[in-house]
Structure 1
Amino acid sequence: MEPMKALSPQEYASECGARPLPALDGVRHHDVEVRGGGRGGARGRARDAVRLHVAEAGDGAGEPVVLLHGFPQHWYGWREMIPRLSGTYRLICPDQRGFGWSDAPATGYDTDSRVADVLALLDALGLDRVRLIGHDWGAWTGFHLCLRAPERVTHHLALNMVHPWPRHRRLAPQSWRFWYTALLEQPLLGRWLLRHRPGFTRCLMRKGVAAQEVWSPDVLEEFVSSGREPDRARAGEALHRAFALHDIARLALGRYRKLHLTTPTLILGGDRDFLLPPSVLAPPAEGRADDLRTEILTGCGHYAHEERPDAVARAARELFQTG
């Protein structure tokens, strides 16, 4: 299906009957209907159509860059990156299923389905190859997109996320840092926390940055309020539960060991990341990837694109010019 015409935030909210979008200069909004699949996609399972909201910026003739947000953010999480990169690239910032202004179906929050959504989006937009920036869950999706369909991604900038081959002896001692995911993944409890205890989400986001002034009150409340919507609270719970049920088991059993990353990839971490400290971002064993590097930003927590946008934009340009 062809995407809808590009709309301003006010036009989009009015035409789609959605809650108002935060305004950002130069950003256009439209919807794309995807059927989780596309080339290299959904491994034989029929999937229902999902409507994805997409925010775009930059020169439509520029090289396309897809930006995949993490939890609990949506497209607006890239508001600092958009003005820094839109002069050079065509920026495509989808709300992943269940978040922002995209559909929030009851299922499809596992990694395979999220990858299939992105592949289907690329097909719908007529994009054969893209550059990729991902944060948190978006970066995890990005790794698996590169592994499943390497011909579709030229470069991957992964922010605040470990690669699929972590050194378990380094990761295991840090497992206590994931305490909150044990709450979010519990049926009914996870969605209840996100919907009825906004202080829980605020606490996670505040703990995620090295300096509290990164979050202005309106920005923080935008993400907290979005996550409180019933369908989106359920999606947040489902996302964490799917990872616990599928990805953790695959990591523990070494199911990713036979996979090889050919996409040039840079991981940017923060030396004050409460979730993934530098020690767990060590490069994988030899033979897992052709070109995978890790750099650590000083004075930075779990939201590199929010805390150090200039450094992230510079790293993106340098990475995208390689190869």
Structure 2
Amino acid sequence: MTDDATAPSSSCDQNPVPGLPLHDLAGFTHRWVDAEGIRLHAVEGGRPAGPTVVLLAGFPQTWWAWRKVMPGLAARFRVIAIDLPGQGHSERPRGGYDTHTVASRVQTALTALDVPKYWLVGHDVGAWVAFSLALKYEERLHGVALLDAGIPGITLPDSIPTDPDRAWKTWHFAFHLVPELPETLLTGRERDYVDWFLKVKTLSPDTFDGAEIDHYAAAVAAEGGLSASLAYYRDAAESARRNHDALERGHLTVPVLGVSGSHGSIPDMAASIGPWAANATGAVIPQAGHFIPDEQPEATVKVLTAFIDYERAE
């Protein structure tokens, strides 16, 4: 992928996935930090003294999913996008992909980055992790925004629909759970698989160009990325169990924003999250499918900024 950004990279010798091209975003710097024995990749920029906004992407993407949103947020906030374990240029551990274990690693990374308290934003699998992180570390958060995600045990349906008009949105949850078969079928064909997700789950199938599809496919294919991506789904039952264990001790009190796309996977994120959160509000972004930050980046910045401003004024 080419771009005209010239932002410097730091500590590239710490990059655990050196074979994957590393793309820069103007005004942002790459960092790698230790997170309970593995290295996580963070991309940081914006106003150092401003409120911190942390961004977590989902399947089959990397931190690059936020590239259109980050400059808009950076005008007012310190912005940190993190590759989750197994994602992008973060290390690919052999286990520990339930969202509570991942949340602990993300929080450790943020502590290493000197982030005492922050606003958390997650999309897709990133929202899975964000929800569990809010349950574990609510005192570290000002608020959390969850974008179009079927969160295990929370907004994820108990059964996969068989109606063809709906099944295409969630069929992959069951497929990813099957041991070994997805790797057998997808190894060497990662680009075809990623291409399907990025085109079918957007309102406009030309949202992603060929270079972007190449980037995400290469990240999934690189050095255990496919197995790591699947591991989030294979550990989803454990994520759901730990979510419910935590919720038995108390519901979320931190402000929660549920963001849906007008043509996304979860029609009303706020209603889905509401039973588990004392302060949940919602927003629907028009003309967007599942990949909201890519499809409507300006609207995403506007919704997130309004959420932060409103809660800070309370």
Category of TM-score, reference length = shorter chain:
0.7 to 0.9
Kindly provide the CA deviation profile for residues 106-164 of structure 1, in whole angstroms up to 9, marking residues without a partner as x. 01111111111111112212222111111011111111111111110101111112467
**2-structure distance, mates of 1:181, 1:295:** 25
Residue 215 of structure 2: aligned partner = 222
Q: Which residue is equivalent to 1:186?
A: 178
How has the CA–CA distance of structure 1 residues 51 and 250 changed in structure 2, closer, same or farther, with 3 Å as cutoff? closer
TM-score by length of 1: 0.83
Note the C-alpha offset of 1:308.
1.1
* 1:8 match: 8
The 5-angstrom pairing of residues 88-237 of structure 1 reads 88-162=76-150, 166=154, 172=159, 174=161, 176=167, 177-198=169-190, 199-237=192-230
Aligned AA (2:8) = S
Secondary structure (helix, strand or coil) at the match of 1:157 reads strand
Q: Tell me the distance in 1 between the aligned counterparts of 2:254 and 2:184.
A: 39
Query: Tell me, what secondary structure is at the counterpart of 2:187?
Result: helix
Count the aligned residue pairs.
296
CA contact (8 A) 2:153 2:241 kept: no
Judge conservation of contact 1:80–1:309 (CA < 8 Å) in 2: yes
Structure 1's unaligned 5+ residue stretches are 1-6, 36-48
2:61, 2:212 → 1: CA distance?
10
Unaligned runs of 5+ in 2: 1-6
How far apart, in 1, do the equivalents of 2:160 and 2:216 lie?
A: 30
- Residue 174 (structure 1) shift: 4.2
What displacement does 1:23 show?
2.6
Letter in 2 for 1:146: A
Aligned-partner Cα distance in 1 for 2:242–2:136 = 15
1:20 matched to which residue of 2? 21
In structure 1, distance between residues paired with 2:115 and 2:205: 38
Alignment of 1:166-315 (within 5 A): 166=154, 172=159, 174=161, 176=167, 177-198=169-190, 199-243=192-236, 245-248=237-240, 255=245, 258=248, 259-273=250-264, 276-278=265-267, 282-284=271-273, 288-315=276-303
By how many angstroms is 1:186 displaced? Answer: 2.0
Post-superposition shift, 1:15?
6.9
> What is the rounded CA distance, in whole Å, between the counterparts of 1:317 and 1:264 in structure 2?
14
Q: CA RMSD in A?
A: 2.5
TM-superposition CA deviations, 1:13-49 (whole Å, max 9, x none): 57744432123211201110111xxxxxxxxxxxxx0
- 1-structure distance, mates of 2:153, 2:96: 24
- Distance in 2 (alpha carbons) for counterparts of 1:146 and 1:306: 25
Q: 1:224 Cα shift?
A: 1.1
Q: How much does 1:213 deviate?
A: 2.2
How far apart, CA to CA, are the structure 1 residues paired with 2:132 and 2:231?
A: 19
Paired letter, 2:252: L
Query: 1:280 Cα deviation (Å)?
Result: 6.8
CA contact (8 A) 1:52 1:102 kept: yes
TM-score, length basis structure 2: 0.85
- How big is the shift at 1:189? 2.2
Secondary structure, counterpart of 2:95 in structure 1: coil
Identity %: 27
The reply to whether residue 75 of structure 1 matches residue 67 of structure 2 is: no
The CA distance in 2 between the partners of 1:140 and 1:19, in whole Å, is 25
Contact 2:14 2:32 in 1 (8 A): no
User: Following the alignment from structure 1 to structure 2, what is the Cα–Cα distance between the partners of residues 182 and 103?
Assistant: 25
Aligned to 1:30: 31
Check the 8 A contact 2:177/2:230 in 1, yes or no: yes
Q: Does the C-alpha gap of structure 1 residues 63 and 18 become closer, same or farther in structure 2, counting only changes over 3 Å?
A: farther
Change (3 A) 1:192 1:92: farther
**Preserved contact between residue 133 and residue 139 of structure 1 (Cα < 8 Å):** yes
